[in-house]
Structure 1
Amino acid sequence: MPRPKREEQFANSEICIVHAVQRCVRRAFLAGVDRESGKDYSFRKEWIRRRMEALASVFGIDVLSYAVMSNHLHVILRNRPDVVASWSDGEVAIRWLRVFPGRRMEEHLAEPTEHEVKTLAGNAERIAEIRQRMSDISWFMRSLAEPISRMANKQDECTGRFWEGRFKAQRIVDEAGLLACSMYVDLNPVRAAMASDPEKAPHTSAFDRIQAGHGKQIDSAAFDLKAVPTEEAAKQIRETPVDELRAKQKAKKRNPTGKRIRRDAWLAPLTLSPEKLSTDAELNRDGLRASDKGFLHVSIRDYLRLLRWTAKQGIAEASEKLPKSLATTLSQIGIDASMWRDLVWEWQRYFGKSICVGSPAAMRQDAERCGKHHYSGQAAASACFT
């Protein structure tokens, strides 16, 4: 059966949460150690992570969780049209030009100028179209996938596809489904036997949050959202050799803003703030992410405790009893604590073929919204939820 149309799953005009999966063509190990050639392409995982970090600084989309694997990646995204609506036309223009500078001549080595930003911002029809795209999950994934593909093909001196096709999308419809999906994503390297525990699984959101808790900092990949004065750009082009301009541009790509940040500062905070209203956009003012809004009614401490406990439960026969406090947390969210290990470790059995993730009641409600009777996996997942 063909995959559903994107507009049937989510719209850029409404806030929703989506689990996206993008696979390499033929499931080849194009971002890990290739089994056939023995070549190690693991460094490309950092390409992908940095590109996600950069896009998080300009799109109206929160990155909640992610895991970059050897032949595919998982990312949980929340689009934020409410955040994009708060941006001025000038802000929308500079953000768009950072990601899509457009076709230029050799002088494209210069940064977007104030004149270019002002010209684009003055085109009301074009800005309205761009504003919609800035909270569109499909445009985020496109902006992530295409540059990585070009870089890999250039390095391999080849042409053709790097990614298998369009990404798979699952709409997450309640907090119970979001907690389970986030845990499933963070534990992907552990499930694949690539790491023994979350602390040893780089290129995952869990690793970033753990490292940040230890004070780890990194060079920020966020885009610089300041346009270059037009006269200054023209002077650089006239007086600076092209090779020197290229070298400066390459150096700036490593750290566009010159900032050092906490390793997880570009990710959405995990815990929802009890002091904030659910309608509060909680805009981020540091230019690192769309907003400061959390996504779970769980503390980072309890989330990591549950993550570590779940990571140890790979062998059912060796499973330990879930601590009472964590079992209570799961029950409050609507998950049967006795089925938690099974839900996360056997995720594919329950939601592998589903386009919707959540408790059966929430899935049923969303199916009705789309004019359907039910979703695949809805009946099987009922055993895991209260």
Structure 2
Amino acid sequence: MPKPREHQVSLDATPYYHCVSRCVRRAFLCGVDSVSGESYEHRRGWLENKLLELPQIFAIQIAAYAIMSNHYHIVLYVDVAHAKSWTDEEVVQRWHQVFKGNLLSQKFDRKEVLSEPELARLKIYIEEWRKRLMDISWFMRVLNEAIAREANAEDGCTGRFWEGRYKSQALLDEAALAACMAYVDLNPVRASMAKTPEKSDYTSIKKRTEKAQATAQANHQNQQEKQLLPFAGNPKQDMPKGIPMRLTDYLELVDWTGRIIRDDKRGAISSSSEAILTRLGIDESQWLTMTQGFEDCFTTFAGSEGSLRSACEKLEYQRASGLSRCRVAIG
């Protein structure tokens, strides 16, 4: 039986999570239905637009994403400090962008005078909403419900559109984060939906590549795609805000990996990509295994043996489930 979500997510252990949600009906989320011949390709745009809109409301940012024919992958970063910095007014305004709130919050938003008991009661709601606005489950709920409503309306039917439970994996260290992001970004290449990462529609790698190319052509520096979690270079502190490597290094590493997947040929790894793998503590073979089958390499937690033991200690697990897989994948 799957563990309850609250036992799988520990922001003390890591702010990074890989989530996968799958369509439950026979009709594809996107693409062309093989039976009816009807195209649902436009739904990928619905999902991408909503996905990139929600970080403006939630204290959750997108590190990577790929929208496939009947499922999607996202790598999320939960920014607890950002949520805690919001004023009560900001929390209410953000919550009202996705839910109606209640009579007290609506009065508060309209700048109407509330009594002391009303303010005290509203404060309880605000703190609960603050928690929800940095909660992955609520993020996934808002995202999936919005797409389900649009798809059901278009299909002229009711009922469940998504599988009831999305899958999540905690990314415990830099190696797991980098490998999972590359795994997500290369999904269309592995599925033969695109020949190269930069040509794969509805993915974070295409959005990052297009921004990097536009920046280079305009002779601008240090400008990254604002709708995605930025790369933070190679900072010394563990797991900083921002992906802990340089964007150019990541793009080069993903390009090399994509060529191997597409052509089934190892090829020579560049010195910079080799240096990244060395810093992450993994070799070429481990990297390629993870980037071609990340979900099979790990269970609920992804990372090194040491990272998993530390996370299980924080979660007060009596047994480190998935330890052997972590040991094989990363060491």
Structure 2 length normalisation: TM-score?
Answer: 0.86
The answer to whether the Cα contact below 8 Å between 1:27 and 1:164 also exists between their aligned partners in 2 is no
Which 5+ residue runs of structure 2 have no aligned equivalent? Answer: 216-222
1:375 paired residue number:
321
Q: Secondary structure at the match of 2:261?
A: coil
The answer to whether the Cα contact below 8 Å between 2:183 and 2:293 also exists between their aligned partners in 1 is no
Change (3 A) 1:203 1:114: farther
Change (3 A) 1:114 1:305: farther
Change (3 A) 1:18 1:117: farther
Q: 2:243 aligns with which of 291, 295, 305?
A: 295
Change (3 A) 1:360 1:35: farther
The answer to whether the Cα contact below 8 Å between 1:180 and 1:343 also exists between their aligned partners in 2 is yes
Identity, % of aligned pairs? Answer: 38
Q: Quote the Cα distance in structure 2 between the aligned partners of 1:363 and 1:117.
A: 48
Q: Quote the Cα distance in structure 2 between the aligned partners of 1:124 and 1:265.
A: 32
Q: 1:270 aligns with which of 231, 244, 249?
A: 231
2:100 paired residue number:
101
Which 5+ residue runs of structure 1 have no aligned equivalent? Answer: 105-111, 217-261, 281-292
Change (3 A) 1:68 1:188: same
1:116 paired residue number:
109
The answer to whether the Cα contact below 8 Å between 1:62 and 1:267 also exists between their aligned partners in 2 is yes
Change (3 A) 1:25 1:14: same
Q: Quote the Cα distance in structure 2 between the aligned partners of 1:383 and 1:15.
A: 21
Q: Secondary structure at the match of 1:76?
A: strand
Tell me the CA shift for residue 14 of structure 1.
Answer: 7.8
Q: Quote the Cα distance in structure 1 between the aligned partners of 2:296 and 2:302.
A: 12
2:303 paired residue number:
358
Q: Provide the aligned C-alpha RMSD in A.
A: 2.7
Change (3 A) 1:335 1:278: closer
Change (3 A) 1:265 1:88: same
Q: Quote the Cα distance in structure 1 between the aligned partners of 2:20 and 2:228.
A: 18
2:176 paired residue number:
177
1:68 paired residue number:
67
After TM superposition, the structure 1 = structure 2 runs for residues 186-225 of structure 1, keeping only pairs within 5 Å, are: 186-215=185-214
Match of 2:207, as an amino acid?
Answer: D
After superposition, give the CA deviation of every residue in 1:68-95 in whole Å (9 maximum; x if it has no partner).
1110011111212211111110011111
Task: After the TM superposition, list the runs of 4 or more consecutive aligned residues in structure 1 that deviate by more than 6 angstroms.
Answer: 277-280
Tell me the CA shift for residue 115 of structure 1.
Answer: 5.5
Tell me the CA shift for residue 180 of structure 1.
Answer: 0.5
Is 1:145 the equivalent of 2:144?
yes
Count of residue pairs the alignment pairs up: 316
Q: Secondary structure at the match of 2:76?
A: strand
Which one is further off, 71-80 or 18-27? 18-27
